[in-house]
Amino acid sequence: MLTETRDEVIRGWHGVASQLAKEGQLDLAYDVKRFVDQMSPPRTERQWTAHELRQHVPTSRAQDRPITR
């Protein structure tokens, strides 16, 4: 369902870009295509939260501590 919705959104933006190109607004059509290419992948709320947490939490605290015996 999530990927199907994303596919519909992308098709819509591609339609906008095509129409802009037909109207001679090539720079704006290019910007729309670039925007679509840079969209983050579809994620559920849980996936989005996990991704954001991974961005802000250190990967391992063991790397910060010196090795002792």
Name residue, tokens 């919705």: 5
42 CB-near residues (< 8 Å, 6+ apart): 2, 3, 5, 6
CB atoms under 10 Å from CB of 29, counted, come to: 19
Listed residue (34, 52, 35, 54) closest to 43, CA to CA: 52
The tokens of 69 are what?
Answer: 């015996």
Q: What is the pTM of this model?
A: 0.63
- Return per-residue pLDDT of the chain as tens, 69 residues: 878 888 999 999 999 999 999 999 999 999 999 999 999 888 888 988 888 888 888 765 555 666 676
